[in-house]
Amino acid sequence: MLGLAKLALVGLTSLHSVHAATADDWRGRSLYQIITDRFAPPSDTAPARTSPLPSTCDPLAQTWCGGTWLSIIDKLDYLQGMGIDSIWISPVSRNIDVYTPYNYAYHGYWVNDPTTLNPRFGTESDLLALSSAVHERGMYLMVDIVVNNIPSLSVSASLSSSSLAADNSYWTDPSDFHPQCWIDYSNATSVEYCWLGDDKLPLMDVNTENPNVVQTLQSWIANFTKAYTIDGLRIDAAKHIPGDFWPGFCGAAGVFCTGEVYGSDIGFASQFQTQQWMDSILGYPLYYSLVNAFGAPMANMSAFVDIGKQVLSSFPHPEYLANFLENHDLPRWRNTTVDPQLAYNAIVAQHIFDGIPLIYYGQEQDFGDGAADPHNREALWPSDYANTTTYQRIGRLNKIRKAVIANNTQYAGHNFLDSRATFIASSNYDVAFRKGPILAVLTNRGSPSQNATFGVGQTGFTSQSDIVE
């Protein structure tokens, strides 16, 4: 175990006396997910860290396309122009840097040394520069954290500390991992203790029953969040570690944590809040309901109403969930749903329902040529960061959210942030819900436009009153 020795030798490089962001600070924010390698190209102020770079970025080639922490800074204006005030960047820690059966670790999820930065994306001073640039704009910085699984080049290599060391792995002691077994998703114990990955690229499952492992991870994250003034963590594969690991880890980090709990099982997912394992999770249950409701013309609107109500009643704090329509593991929304009207309606639901709206880079550019990983990890720059209709509508939704939050605008004594969404009417194809002063009336009838009648009953608006669309 190298960790404790390393930690004891090196002091904190810098301590910032800023107030760490809490879940309540995050709930009024608007979040944007970035794969660092794919968001912005190298520039005069952001030198390439990989060379040579491919002349065009083919996601199927699964190699580095050149984005860095410094190049993200170039495009913060673009994000603010859409009302985005917080970014989630892909993992920053060092990865295996070799060719694998799944090509290269351009995405950053094959972390073999959490304590060292990934030179493919920049240096310590580059990450500090990004953190400062984000904070100067009043934005928040969230970093993706991978602790559950550590890549190995083969199952046999994973049993030999010498071959792990040869790959510069931080973890070399067999007691750092659970014994090898592949996950059986029908067995909850196996989900937590067995390994992700496969024979071609095993991902060893970290042993969080080993107190040295826990201590190392906690010391590292405490230092890391302070050193770079990180405001939040997105926790990869959160359901693959026993829940009682997380309060100590997120407590050491001292910042907001939102975990990836892949799947539609609300009973399981809501334990992250009911058991107080972490502040928040990514809104997978709501995502599936929005796909079922808005993913095709005249699809199943009751999926949104039913699941939406279950989310509200099962999670003590639905306002902390991060609600998304796309991410790096899922098909682009426009790949499965080409009708823009359906996308716009789903985006409104995503921004007005309880939670932190989360846009995946490229969603605002209507990227659709991306069925799933690796197709959905295109470079953003060929879009020229255009001022698309979707970009403008997201901007408008963020303006509305910000205005009612800043004004503490009320309806019947309820403001936006402190109130829960309430479904007030629905038909097979339409839905109306209120959250504080905002009333959202949505349809999945799709294009072309048609005349239809949908009664929303008591809106609280009196005849002739001015309402803002």
Ligand X SMILES: *[C@@H]1O[C@H](CO)[C@@H](O)[C@H](O)[C@H]1NC(C)=O
Residues noted as catalytic: 236, 260
Q: Which residues in the 108-167 window bind ligand X by CB under 6 A?
A: 124
Smallest gap from Cβ 52 to ligand X, in A, equals: 26
Residue 296 lies near ligand X (rule: CB under 6 A):
no
199 is in an annotated binding site: no
Q: Where is 59: in which H helix or E strand?
A: none
On whether 144 is known to bind a ligand per the annotation, the reply is no
Residue in 45, 125, 156, 187 binding ligand X, rule: CB under 6 A: 187
CB of 163 to ligand X, least distance (A): 24
Instruction: Report, in angstroms and rounded to the nearest whole number, the Rg of the chain calculated over CA atoms.
Output: 22
The C-alpha atoms of residue 98 and residue 37 are separated, in whole angstroms, by 16
Give the count of alpha carbons within 13 A of 431, CB side only: 26
DSSP assigned state of 72:
H
β-pair type (356-360, 322-324): parallel
Taking contact as CB under 6 A, which single stretch among the options 31-39, 202-210, 299-307, 311-319 is the one that binds ligand X?
Answer: 299-307
**Looking at the DSSP assignment, which residues form a beta bridge with residue 203?**
151, 196
In whole angstroms, how close is the CB of 368 to ligand X at the nearest point?
4
**Which residues, 6+ apart, have CB-to-CB distance to 156 below 8 Å?**
163
Q: Does 447 bind ligand X (CB under 6 A)?
A: no
The answer to whether 373 contacts ligand X (rule: CB under 6 A) is no
Tokens read off for 290: 């929005």
Q: Is 410 in the site for ligand X (CB under 6 A)?
A: no
* Cβ neighbourhood burial of 211 (10 Å; 0-12, 13-18, 19+): exposed
100 scored as a contact of ligand X (CB under 6 A): no
- Residue with smaller CB distance to ligand X, 383 or 409: 409
- Residue 381 assigned as binding residue: no
DSSP letter, residue 20: P
- Nearer to ligand X (CB atom), residue 2 or residue 7: 7
Tell me: does residue 335 bind ligand X (CB under 6 A).
yes
Q: Which residues pair with 442 in a beta bridge?
A: 431
Q: Is the dihedral angle over the CA atoms 271, 272, 273, 276 positive or is it negative?
A: positive
Q: How wide is the angle at C-alpha 340 spanned by C-alphas 368 and 435, nearest 5°?
A: 115
Cβ neighbours for 289, distance < 8 A, ≥ 6 positions apart: 303, 304, 306, 307, 308, 311
Enter the tokens of residue 395: 């901007």
Question: Annotated binding residue at 236?
Answer: yes
- Which one of 233-241, 256-264, 321-329, 449-457 is the stretch in contact with ligand X (CB under 6 A)? 449-457
Which lies closer to ligand X via its Cβ, residue 274 or residue 389? 389
Residue 110 among known ligand-binding residues: yes
**Interaction of residue 189 with ligand X, rule CB under 6 A:** yes
Q: Determine if 306 is a binding residue for ligand X (CB under 6 A).
A: yes
Q: H or E element: which one contains 41? A: none
The answer to whether 205 is a known ligand-binding residue is yes
Span of 45-53, 137-145, 266-274, 366-374 interacting with ligand X by CB under 6 A: 366-374
Nearest to 106 by CA among 124, 128, 91: 91
Question: Closest distance between ligand X and the C-beta of residue 276, in Å?
Answer: 25
Among 220, 232, 227, 217, residue whose Cα is nearest residue 20: 232
Q: Give the length of the chain.
A: 469
Stretch near ligand X under the rule CB under 6 A, chosen from 44-52, 101-109, 420-428, 446-454:
446-454
Of 237-245, 257-265, 321-329, 402-410, the segment contacting ligand X by CB under 6 A is 402-410
Q: Which residues are annotated as a binding site for substrate?
A: 62, 110, 234, 329, 377
- Which residue ranges make up the site for ligand X (CB under 6 A)? 7, 10, 12-13, 81, 124, 181, 187, 189-190, 193-194, 223-224, 227, 300, 302-303, 306-307, 335, 338, 368-371, 375, 387, 392, 403-404, 407, 409, 449-451
